[in-house]
């Protein structure tokens, strides 16, 4: 048995409910970075409950789930990366070409479930119908068709009864502390007509269009990762 296999075996046989990792990060270039933004909210700034200083949510758990899946995919081969070769996933072909690995909601993608044959097969293996969801059977179906949906969570709201849900086995986020705003901006220059009035104005894309942008610096940026050992058991 390899060292990794021994470690996994010891963890699954033990009593620890989860494994927590915290990893310090830094921008690839310079010191500025742009965090996740939310419509009508902007950046997710909040006060540190211990120090009272400004903290920032750089990447949310749902965004990190998509990013962690993205590194599993080889765009050049249009398939999983070599270390994951052979793992099952659902591919959609036709007018729309996509996979459950690339879809934001994984198996609950409307493109995946447009195939009624697949929907029926999934419902059969997951035991979905009227009444309470059989979680072990539902988890087994996720593992059969797309392990990524088991790792990163699934909510099959598009399949009746619409309540089949399994939380993430791997959850993560990125935060920054001691943050400062870097306010900057620029302008899209129209070298033919700075005002753009003669051609319809900025609403039509004409004229000089100034814009502003907020980036951030931080004393520390870190990623937090939680593996739900109790859930895996």
Strand-pairing partners, residue 222, are: 24, 175
Contact call for residues 219 and 1 (beta carbons, < 8 A) = no
Q: What are phi and psi of 196, to 5 degrees?
A: 75, 5
Q: Is pLDDT above 70 for 7?
A: no
Alpha-carbon distance of 25 to 175, in angstroms, equals 10
- φ, ψ for residue 42, nearest 5 deg: 80, -155
Q: Residue 138: its pLDDT value, please?
A: 94
Distance, CA of 4 to CA of 85 (rounded, Å): 19
Radius of gyration of the chain (CA): 23
Question: What are the helix (H) ranges across 103-164?
Answer: 110-113, 116-126, 135-145, 147-151
Helices and strands counted in the chain (H then E): 7, 12
pLDDT tens-digit profile of 33-47? 999 887 788 899 999
Model pLDDT for residues 65-85, shown as the tens digit of each residue: 999 999 999 999 999 999 999
Q: Is residue 154 part of a domain?
A: yes
> Residue 110 falls within a domain, yes or no?
yes
Residue 135 falls inside a structural domain: yes
How far apart CA 113 and CA 123 sit, in angstroms, is: 11
Query: Are 61 and 172 contacting, i.e. CB atoms less than 8 angstroms apart?
Result: yes
**Residue 158 domain-assigned (yes or no):** yes
Nearest by Cα to 225 from 18, 63, 16: 18
Number of separate domains in the chain? 1
Q: What are phi and psi of 124, to 5 degrees?
A: -65, -50
Q: Cα–Cα distance between 23 and 217 in angstroms, integer?
A: 18
What tokens does 189 get? 């220059």
- Encode pLDDT of 170-200 as tens digits: 999 999 999 999 999 888 787 777 776 665 5
Query: Cα(209)–Cα(194) distance, rounded to whole angstroms?
Result: 9
pLDDT of residue 37: 82
Residue 35: φ, ψ to 5°: -85, 175
Is residue 1 predicted with pLDDT exceeding 60? no
- Give me the chain's average pLDDT, please: 88
Residue-number span of the structural domain to which 21 is assigned: 16-174+217-232
Mean pLDDT, residues 131-144 taken together: 92
Q: Is residue 211 part of a domain?
A: no
């Amino acid at each position: 048995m390899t060292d990794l296999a021994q470690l996994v075996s010891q963890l699954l046989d033990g009593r620890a409910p989860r494994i927590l990792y915290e990893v310090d990060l830094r921008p690839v270039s310079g010191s500025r970075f742009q965090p996740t933004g939310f419509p009508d909210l902007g950046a997710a700034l909040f006060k540190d409950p211990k120090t009272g200083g400004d903290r920032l949510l750089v990447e949310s758990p749902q965004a990190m789930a998509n990013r962690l899946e993205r590194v599993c995919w080889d765009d050049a081969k249009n398939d999983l990366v070599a270390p994951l070769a052979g793992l099952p996933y659902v591919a959609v072909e036709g007018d729309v070409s996509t996979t459950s690995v690339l879809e934001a909601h994984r198996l609950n993608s409307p493109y995946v479930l447009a195939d009624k044959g697949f929907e029926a097969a999934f419902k059969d293996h997951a035991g979905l119908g009227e009444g309470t969801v059989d979680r072990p059977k539902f988890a087994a179906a996720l593992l059969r068709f797309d392990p990524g949906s088991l790792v990163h969570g699934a909510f099959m709201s598009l399949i009746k009864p619409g309540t089949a849900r399994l939380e993430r086995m791997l959850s993560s986020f990125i935060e920054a502390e001691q943050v400062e705003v870097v306010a900057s901006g620029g302008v899209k220059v129209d070298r033919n007509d700075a005002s753009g009035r003669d051609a319809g104005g900025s609403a039509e894309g004409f004229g000089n269009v100034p814009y502003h942008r907020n980036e951030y610096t931080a004393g520390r940026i870190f990623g937090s990762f939680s593996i739900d050992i109790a859930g895996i058991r």
